[in-house]
Amino acid sequence: RIMSILQEERKNCTFNRLEITNLLDGSAKATENRRELERFILSFPELQDKIPIDYLSHEDRYAEELRKACLLIRKGFEAPGNDGQANTMRYLMGAGVGSAVLKEGNPLAVHFVMFVPTIMNQGTPEQQMEWLSKAWNCEIVGTYAQTELGHGTFLRGLETTATYDPTTEDFVLNTPTVTAYKWWPGGLGKTANHAVVMAQLWTKGKCHGPHPFLVQLRDTDTHEPLSGIDVGEIGPKMGLNTNDNGYLGFKSHRIPRTAMLMKYSQVLPDGTYVKPAHSKLSYGTMVFVRVVIVSDACQQLMKAATIAVRYSCVRKQSELIPGEPEPQIIEYQAQQAKIFPPVAACFALKFAAFYIIDLYQETTQRGEEIDLDLLPELHALSCGLKALSTTDIGQFVEVLRQSCGGHGYMSNSNFPRIYSQVQAAYTYEGENTVLWLQVARHLIKSYKNGGNYTSSYLSEKEIIRSQKLSGNIYDPYFLETVFRRTAFGLVRRAAAELDRLTAQGMNPHIAWNKASVLLIDAAKGHSRYFVVHNFNEKVASIKISQATRDVICHLRDLYLVHGILAYKGDFIMFGGLSDLDIVGLQSRQSYLFEQIRPNAVSIVDAFDIRDEILNSTLGVANGDVYNRLMEEAKNSPLNLTQVHSSFQNYLKPFMNAHL
């Protein structure tokens, strides 16, 4: 009976699920390739856990996941299809099928996501010839060592030094203080034998700032650390514990001059420094990783939403009407308010991820030249979307976990793992507060000098008019205008505060700090406006059936309405909305819940996440939640015996002690 509940829900579907699946994958061909890869990878029993990973020790977890990681990549190279090895590896490293195999993180992920791309993007043709094929084929295994114990997102504060010695044509790497130790790089602890190391470049007595160096850390045969290198693992974390995040220190460790990645800046044999054409060109790897994070975080939210929606249909609780049978908890509007906005956000943020991926490719793949005009836009947008997606998704995942009650707290629900991995993304590759301020700097400059691309609205001075806009609050394009006005108002307020403080004679840097809360609000408002604008653009351009379009439009409308209601104060202050408008939007939200409800299960089904990838007792596609929970409980090692040895050793003597 329980298993039939989701079958009945699916009968209510009013749209073509495959259309949404293809849309979220990018194309029908992309869906076909993804499914083919999933079928292939999940067909190998040796890639599955022999013992549930939750019951392994820290050391055994790492060993088991490294075993599977090596096999996963080997199988990835053998995978059928014509999607290209690069796309295959990217998918295996993310929250898709790779997470079905490696649930606590992939110790080789940083090798493919950061180490290899850095060689590609920042190495000269000669350096790529020397290292790229070895890295791609895993003859060498690398990581990306930038963050230090005492410094993270603030690159200029890095303390590791690389001092050029022209007499030997070597760089001498040193870690001058404990805070200068590299800290956090994934795969550094026990896996990697090479690293791209960001270090302060010194030559001819002058520091030229952080630059990338390709450094061998361990002997490729014995895996012993080389002379002058102190390397190890940093220990347990909230999650991702098989990523073997590590620490790294140098003591007068020498590397050849050619170990500096010199595509954009060089050090000549005599020590002369040749600076890059653009100061931000060397930040390409970080931008790329932020692009990946946005897409990966969306996949995590899709998992969490699928689990919560399915469980909300299976779970029955309390009485909606006294004396009548217990309803599915999805029938409660309070439950719909928890689970439907995250479902809508999956689409909004996924479409935003597509946009930034396209922009990244446009910026970096025009032959050998990088579009310098697009670099500031790409940097600001990648910062904003990384911060927005990981912040919102982290909050949504926790709400979705709470929506599943006590069972959502179980490890086998997969919520704890999803949550810990999303929360990690809030901080790594740019802590979100710092990223918001990077966006704000771009916005203030655009406000004063005229914006372009996604900040072009900052040049539209007519939107600063104080009178209320006229329009229909049910019209998504009118609501987009409200988001734009609000974003403009938040930027204008932050700029005015900066002007006020500096007019009083305050140092501009101190003024920036004093205005930082308002600047962050401006960055958030801008980023949310972009996502809304992009959502509307996507809905207008996609070619799908009317029935499927109706479903997506309801989700789009909910994303806009929920976004306004969540920050209603800003939209009243700057967006021109009245109290009555807010009341109307609250009614509109209730209406949208009713429209989405019949299709809820089919919408998350269209995310097309296999049970092996979802890895959740609560989210199984057949709805057999309670039997799955009981099976998992029976599998606990504590249940192998009725009387545990600790009873005789500890509990019985304690009970007999007559305290």
**Which residues belong to the active site?**
429
Known binding residues for FAD are: 147, 186
Q: How far apart are CA 380 and CA 333, in angstroms?
A: 38
Burial (CB count within 10 angstroms: exposed 0-12, middle 13-18, buried 19+), residue 569: exposed
Instruction: Determine the distance from the C-alpha atom of residue 539 to the mean position of all C-alpha atoms in its chain, rounded to a whole number.
Output: 24
Residue the block writes with tokens 């919408």? 603
C-alpha radius of gyration, the chain, whole number: 27
CB 341 within 8 Å of CB 562: yes
Contacts of 386 (CB under 8 A, 6+ apart): 290, 293, 294, 425, 429, 430, 432, 435
Name 161's bridge partners. 174, 200
Sequential DSSP letters for 542-570: ----HHHHHHHHHHHHHHHHHHHHHTHHH
Contacts of 620 (CB under 8 A, 6+ apart): 310, 611, 614, 628
Residue 156: strand, helix, or coil: helix
Residue type, 533: H
Contacts of 23 (CB under 8 A, 6+ apart): 542, 544, 552
CB 190 within 8 Å of CB 62: yes
CB 314 within 8 Å of CB 373: no
Sequential DSSP letters for 251-264: SSEEEEGGGB--SS
Instruction: Determine the distance from the C-alpha atom of residue 343 to the mean position of all C-alpha atoms in its chain, rounded to a whole number.
Output: 17
Q: How far apart are CA 17 and CA 442, in angstroms?
A: 40
Q: How far apart are CA 559 and CA 561, in angstroms?
A: 6
Q: How far apart are CA 130 and CA 118, in angstroms?
A: 14
Question: How many residues comprise the chain?
Answer: 659
**Distances in Å between the alpha carbon of 596 and those of 12, 251, 391, 507, 591?**
11, 61, 25, 52, 9
Please give the angle made by the CA atoms of 534, 539 and 543, to the nearest 5 degrees: 130
Residue the block writes with tokens 């795969």? 187
Sort strands 273-274 and 266-267 into parallel, antiparallel or unpaired.
Answer: antiparallel
CB 339 within 8 Å of CB 558: no
**Distances in Å between the alpha carbon of 228 and those of 91, 173, 180?**
36, 9, 15
